[in-house]
Amino acid sequence: MKTTTHNIDIITDLETPDSESINTPNLDLPTSDIELRSPNTIVHMDLDTFFVSCERLLEPKLNGKPVLVGGTSDRGVVSACSYEARQFGVHSAMPMRMARQLCPEAIVIRGNSAIYSKYSDMVTDIIKEESPVYEKSSIDEFYIDITGMDRFHGSYKWATELRQRIMQETHLPISFGMSTSKTVSKVGTGEAKPNGQINVLRGLEKAFLAPLSIKKIPMVGDKTYQKFRSMGIEKIQTVQEMPLELMERVFGKNGVIIWKKANGIDNSPVIPFHERKSISSSLTFEKDTIDVRKLKEILTTMAEKLAFYLRNGDKLTSIVTVTVRYSDFDTRSRQMRIAYTANDHTLIATVMRLFDQLYQRRVMARLVGVRFSGLVGGGYQINLFEDSERTIKLYQAMDKVRNRFGQGAVKRAVTMDTKGVGQMSNPFNGQAPIIPAHRRS
C-alpha cells in the first residue's frame, strides 16, 4: 500500500524552519495571535474514499479503476467515488446519470452499509484501545486529543504508529493531520490525502493555511464560497488580512467563526465518544384511550421527529420497534428489520404496519412508543444508495427549515394536533444517552 508522509518545511516536526524557507508573508505571527492558539495537540484521522476502499478489499479487481458507489439507477446519486473517477470531475452527491456521462468507464456499485459499518467498527475499536480521548464524528472520521503526550511519547510518532496499526490490521488507507486545533488538523488531513500524514507546528497555522483555497475551511459551503468569490476572495490569506469587523458585517456571526478558523484559532474540544445504539420516544397518556386515529397520529409524529433527529445526527436505522402498554399494564412490542434508512416515508409506513399487527386487543392504551435501533453513521451518504436526487433534496429542504425555525415548522397534516410529542435535545451530541421521563400529554 503506497503511503505518503508530508515533510514540508512549514509543517514538519523534525526541525523548526527559518523564515527564508517559507514562501508566505504570514510566518511571523504576533505574540498575541500565538497566545490565542490552544496548547492542545489534536489529531484528525479520515479513512480515504472509505466506501470504495471497503469494496476494493472485497474485490481487488477494482484497484486502480474508477469506481462509483451509490444508487445504480439514473435517478440515483453518487455516494462515494474513487480518486480515479474524480479525475473526470465526478464528486459525491452528483446525480449518477451525470457521473456516468463524465466517466463512462466507471464501475458502479450499489454499496453495502453493513460492510462499511463492520470496517468502521474495526477502526473505532483500535482507536478506542490506543487513545486517551477520541470523538467519532462520522462513519469514517475521528478526532483524537493527545495533549500532553509529548512528555512521555512523541505525539507525531504516536499518531504515525496508530495509523500504521490501522492500515496493517484493516488494510484500509487512512490519512491524518495533527495540529493545535480541530480545524487545522482537518484541513491538514485533506492536504495529506491520499494516504498521507501532516503535522502543523504550533505558531505555523497561518502560514500553512494562507495559500489554500477559502473553500478548504470547514463550514464554508458553496453559497458562502460564491459570496467570497464575488468579493474577489479566493485564498485564505486574504481572509487572514481582513479586519474582523468587516467579516462580521458581511457574514454576521459566521464571519467571526470563519475569520478565526482562517487564522488557525479554534478551541473547540474533542468530545468523548459514546456510541448510541438506539433512539426512542414514548408517551404516557393522562387518560387511557382507545382512539386508534389518535394513537396513529401520535406514532406518526414520533416516527417523523425521530427520523429528523437521525438525519441531523447523520445516522441511519435498521430496526424499528413499536410498543403499546394497555390499561392493565400488559406491555407488548413488535419489531421489524429494514434496510438502513432515515426517511420519514419508509419509517412511518413501517411503524404503521407494526402497530396494526400489534394493537389487537381493543383495550384502552396507556402508553405508546417508537424505537429506532441498529444505528450506523453515514447519513445521506449511505441513503444515496436508495434515494433519488429529488427525494434527498426534499428532505434536506425540510430539515433546513426545521433547523432554522424549529421542529414544528414543517410537519404532516395528520400530526398537526400532536404538539410537544417526540421533542428532545440533540441525541447525537457525543454525550452519553439520557433516558427522559415519559412526556405526558
Cα–chain-centroid distance for residue 231? 30
Q: Which of the residues 130, 141, 234, 248 is marked catalytic?
A: 141
User: What is the per-residue pLDDT for 236?
Assistant: 96
Where does 59-153 have alpha helices with state H? Answer: 83-86, 96-102, 113-130
- Whole-angstrom Cα distance, residue 399 to residue 6? 40
User: What is the per-residue pLDDT for 413?
Assistant: 56
DSSP code for 415: G
- Whole-angstrom Cα distance, residue 196 to residue 164? 11
Cα–chain-centroid distance for residue 332? 35
User: What is the per-residue pLDDT for 111?
Assistant: 82
Domain with CATH 3.30.1490.100 in the chain: 278-440
Of the candidates 196, 121, 169, the one whose C-alpha atom is nearest the C-alpha of residue 376 is 121
Q: How far apart are the first and last CA of the chain?
A: 59
User: What is the per-residue pLDDT for 274?
Assistant: 66
User: What is the per-residue pLDDT for 32?
Assistant: 45
- Whole-angstrom Cα distance, residue 283 to residue 299? 9
Task: List average pLDDT for each run of 10 residues in the chain, which is 441 residues long.
Answer: 44 33 32 56 96 96 95 79 96 89 94 85 94 89 90 86 97 96 96 95 94 93 91 95 94 94 93 79 88 93 90 86 91 91 89 93 89 78 59 73 68 56 53 34 32
Annotated catalytic, 141? yes
Dihedral angle sign, alpha carbons of residues 210, 212, 217, 222 = positive
Question: What are the C-alpha distances in Å from 26 to residues 9, 180, 207, 433?
Answer: 14, 17, 5, 44
| CATH of the domain spanning 4-15+23-49+115-262 | 3.30.70.270
- Whole-angstrom Cα distance, residue 360 to residue 208? 66
Tell the burial category of 162 from Cβ atoms under 10 Å away from its Cβ (0-12, 13-18, 19+).
buried
User: What is the per-residue pLDDT for 264?
Assistant: 94
Cα dihedral 238/241/244/248 (nearest 10): -10
- Whole-angstrom Cα distance, residue 412 to residue 296? 13
User: What is the per-residue pLDDT for 290?
Assistant: 92
Q: Is there a contact between 272 and 133 (Cβ–Cβ < 8 Å)?
A: yes
User: What is the per-residue pLDDT for 335?
Assistant: 95
Long-range contacts of range 254-260, CB-CB < 8 Å, 24 or more positions apart?
254/219, 254/224, 257/219, 258/217, 258/219, 258/220, 258/224
Kindly report the CATH class assigned to 278-440.
alpha beta
- Whole-angstrom Cα distance, residue 47 to residue 377? 14
Domain with CATH 3.30.70.270 in the chain: 4-15+23-49+115-262
DSSP code for 407: G
10 Å Cβ neighbour count for 405?
Answer: 10
